[in-house]
Amino acid sequence: MNLFIRGGRVVDPGQNIDEILDIRIENGVITETGKNLEPLSGSEVIDAAGKYAVPGLIDMHVHLRDPGFEYKEDIITGSLAAARGGFTSVACMPNTNPVIDNKAVAGYITNKAKSHGFCNVYPVGCITHGMGGERLSEMGELKEAGCVAVSDDGKPVKNAELMRRALEYAKGIGIPVIAHSEDISLVGEGVMNEGFTSTEIGLKGIPRVAEEIAVARDVMLAEYTQSPIHIAHLSTGGGVRIIREAKARGVKVTAETAPHYFILTDDAVRGYNTNAKMNPPLREACDVEAVREGLRDGTIDCIATDHAPHHLDEKDIEFDAALNGIIGLESSLPLSLALVDDGILTFNQLIEKMSCNPARILGLDRGTLKRGAIADITLIDTLAEWVFETGQLASKSMNSPFFGCKMKGAAFATILGGRVVYRIDRLAGK
Amino acid sequence: MPEFKHKDIIALRDLTRGDMELLLKTAESMREINSREIKKVPTLRGKTIINLFYESSTRTRTSFEIAGKRLSADTVNITPSSSSATKGETLADTALNLLAMKPDIIVMRHSVSGSHYFLSKKLPNCSIINAGDGTHEHPSQGLLDMLTIRDHFGRLDSLKVAIIGDITHSRVARSNIQGLTKMGSEVFLAGPPTMMPPGAAKLGNVTVCKNIKEAIADADVVMMLRIQQERQGKTLMPNAREYSRYFGLNPENLKLARPGAMVMHPGPINRGVEMSSYVVDGAQSHILRQVENGVAVRMSMLYHVCGGEIE
């Protein structure tokens, strides 16, 4: 099955391309990109006039909840949500049940995604055995089984010596470490950012320094061991500053943030809105500004979603009891495109942060439209205007603070290995 | 007579000065009932009130129960040990089950801040009264404190009120700050910096003081908060002995206040920790007046959320 994308504005940061071109795809591979090409006979042709054609978007931080919590999400619904959001690849975190600390669980995920999924699903294995924070996981076997990184996401590695050894060991194996940097003792019983809002509405606070201390520790360990480290879901101004300084010193640190950290403040929690409860928590305006500046100056390499589906029963309860996290796959693209409208990023830089950089950090052979590359392509309609509503979700869960928001920009089509897995104009009523 | 338009009373932050004045005015007339030989009026006859207390409480629960009974309502108490909470039932399900029995008012105390708003959304046809939610508010305490202060000074504006203790974890402090500053008084906070929440000075006409002396100086009212060893014991303070030396109220530092200043405490008191017994039992103490006013204020709250109809 061959595909031909006609007349899209092709933006491929890796090749410095930004012009209106045609793309020819044969057997799932990009065979030619150029002006006024002709489709091979029998090709499916997509008219991409007025749309952008970019390397398939990659979300390096999602929770697909499969195995173990399929009532929240599974690999099929999660990967469909990804495809609808314009993502062709996701990396899924290991806090499943059982956790991803062995070949069998990693294999289950990759197999299920290959046979039933709508995007590439790359498992992230645990840093520690059983995510218990006590001894190293079998990272060699995890890598063999398809894991593209290791992380104890959601449960930071408390023991600094263990984190040091993890960085050293992972470097030897050649698998990146993703740090959930948070000092649990400073989090305490906190349920939202510590600041004026928490004071006024009487919720227990989580201070910024809980993140900043842990980012500093993890960056210093990476520097000492000369190992790469990737900092997940950066939310604080201090965290951005520490990473900026480390990068200037030549530390091999990369970082991601999520749309809610560059859009929302802890004001969103007012009214005890459990859909604004996440970890790290939404911070204050100065942090939002710092995160945006970090995106602008390149301190922050990636935009991930931290897609964290939870069942209504886990959110429609008292604030303290509600679980942390929001879904993000189906809202990330328009929310991130707003950074281009706001002049924070160029469109080219946005694609770097949503495709090229995650591919580079995870060592994926994707994130490019080069000749011979796997044809993972996202067509983006930057002008589409729509409202984010619960009714249209592919995800099983409905935990988002963005429902009811007007969105601008959408995935027009998502192409996975030359196969169209999603097209907006084939939706009923669209 | 002005109308009380709220279905629920969850936080003094949600009420206007006019709302609070109405509640206090009604409380004054309720107090007359409490001094009669037959302390009962038929005002809420046929109304059902459920006191749903997820946290233990003697004073507040008893006070609400007596308030309901003096207005002839049928009151039922549910406490966690005897409730479904231990069986894993959610708050919403417990509430919906109770609602099926058609109560008119649910008075709830809960350890989670904001849980009353959650409950109110689930129960649009039942009035919710907050008897304390986590570290958020305790509006009946705020109102009874205000009534006690007004009894003494004849006004609630232009007073200097010192509130001393663990401000971060105090729902009493939050309600009093909201109420008193809306009424035109000025609040001065003091306590160990470990117990002072960020931005406290922005809560209204509020000054955060460096020490207890600065807060007490020339105060008309000195309100002490309860120190809970189990809550603050670990990292917020060294021990009760040091706390009482630096943040406790005693006859010596009380002299810094205006002559005849009121001394208040929401109870239960840790004698010798936040207050010396000489002050608790001294001439300036209004602590038992607070308790007495609690019944009248709660009668007023029950009356007004029921629409204020007199049979």
Q: Taking all residues of chain A, what is their mean pLDDT, rounded to a whole number?
A: 97
Say if the Cβ atoms of A199 and B110 lie within 8 Å.
no
| pLDDT the model gives residue A1 | 76
| pLDDT the model gives residue A429 | 36
Identify the contact set of chain A against chain B, taking CB-CB distances under 8 A: 194-196, 198-205, 271-272, 313, 316-321
Give B137's contacts in chain A (Cβ within 8 Å).
202
Output the pTM of the full model.
0.94
- Report the run of H or E that residue A379 belongs to, with start and end: strand A377-387
| pLDDT the model gives residue A426 | 72
Q: Is a pLDDT exceeding 70 seen at residue B118? A: yes
Residue from the list B90, B134, B202 with its beta carbon closest to the beta carbon of A202: B134
Say if the Cβ atoms of A203 and B200 lie within 8 Å.
no
| pLDDT the model gives residue B24 | 97
Backbone angles phi, psi at A382, to 5 degrees: -75, -10
Say if the Cβ atoms of A317 and B92 lie within 8 Å.
yes
pLDDT in tens, A9-40: 999 999 999 999 999 999 999 999 999 999 99
Q: Is a pLDDT exceeding 80 seen at residue B89? A: yes
Q: Is B171 on the interface with A (CB under 8 A)?
A: yes
State the catalytic residue, choosing from A306, A313, A316, A381.
Answer: A306
Q: Is a pLDDT exceeding 50 seen at residue A356? A: yes
Say if the Cβ atoms of B197 and A205 lie within 8 Å.
yes
Which pair of tokens denotes residue B121? 């959304």
**Is B12-137+294-305 in CATH node 1.10.287.610?**
no
Of the listed ranges A273-282, B152-161, B222-231, the one predicted with least confidence: B222-231
The mean pLDDT value for B40-48 works out to 95
- Report the run of H or E that residue A45 belongs to, with start and end: strand A44-47
Residue from the list B110, B135, B198 with its beta carbon closest to the beta carbon of A196: B198
Residue B275: DSSP 8-state: B
Q: Is a pLDDT exceeding 70 seen at residue B82? A: no
Residue from the list B90, B110, B202 with its beta carbon closest to the beta carbon of A196: B202
Say if the Cβ atoms of A318 and B174 lie within 8 Å.
no
| pLDDT the model gives residue A428 | 39
| pLDDT the model gives residue B56 | 85
Banded pLDDT at B2 (limits 50, 70, 90) = low
Neighbours of A90 (CB within 10 A): 33
> How far is A32 from A18, CA to CA, in rounded Å?
15
Neighbours of B234 (CB within 10 A): 9
Say if the Cβ atoms of A199 and B114 lie within 8 Å.
no
Q: Is a pLDDT exceeding 80 seen at residue A427? A: no
Interface of B with A in 38-97 (CB under 8 A): 90-92
Residue B274 CB partners (closer than 8 Å, separation 6+): B164, B165, B224, B225, B226, B227, B243, B244, B247, B248, B249, B265
CB A72 within 8 A of CB A315: no
| pLDDT the model gives residue A430 | 33
pLDDT in tens, B166-210: 999 999 999 999 999 999 999 999 999 999 999 999 999 999 999
Say if the Cβ atoms of A194 and B174 lie within 8 Å.
no
* Closest to A225 measured CA to CA, from A172, A183, A178: A172
CA B12 to chain A, closest CA, distance in angstroms equals 12
CB A64 within 8 A of CB A73: yes
Of the listed ranges B149-153, B220-224, B303-307, the one predicted with least confidence: B303-307
List the domains of chain A with CATH numbers: 3-53+373-426 (2.30.40.10), 57-362 (3.20.20.140)
* DSSP track, A159-228: -HHHHHHHHHHHHHHT--BEE----HHHHTT--EE-SHHHHHHTPPEE-THHHHHHHHHHHHHHHHHT--
Q: Is B114 on the interface with A (CB under 8 A)?
A: yes
CB A221 within 8 A of CB A163: yes
Active site residue A267: no
| pLDDT the model gives residue B311 | 40
Q: Is a pLDDT exceeding 80 seen at residue A118? A: yes
ipTM over 0.90: yes
CB A298 within 8 A of CB A353: no
> How far is B117 from B94, CA to CA, in rounded Å?
15
CB B78 within 8 A of CB B279: no
CB A299 within 8 A of CB A249: no
CA B156 to chain A, closest CA, distance in angstroms equals 22
Say if the Cβ atoms of B113 and A200 lie within 8 Å.
no
> How far is A275 from A318, CA to CA, in rounded Å?
12
Residue A340 CB partners (closer than 8 Å, separation 6+): A346, A347, A350, A382
Give B92's contacts in chain A (Cβ within 8 Å).
316-317
The reply to whether domains B12-137+294-305 and B139-290 share a CATH topology is yes
Which of B109, B118, B141, B167 to probe the A interface (max A CBs under 10 A)? B118
What are the sequence ranges of the domains in chain B? 12-137+294-305, 139-290
CA A272 to chain B, closest CA, distance in angstroms equals 6
The mean pLDDT value for B97-123 works out to 94
* Cis bond upstream, residue A13 (ω within 30): no
Give A198's contacts in chain B (Cβ within 8 Å).
197-198
Q: Is a pLDDT exceeding 90 seen at residue B235? A: no
- CATH class given for the domain over B139-290: alpha beta
* Closest to A123 measured CA to CA, from A98, A159, A160: A98
CA B74 to chain A, closest CA, distance in angstroms equals 28
pLDDT in tens, A279-331: 999 999 999 999 999 999 999 999 999 999 999 999 999 999 999 999 999 99
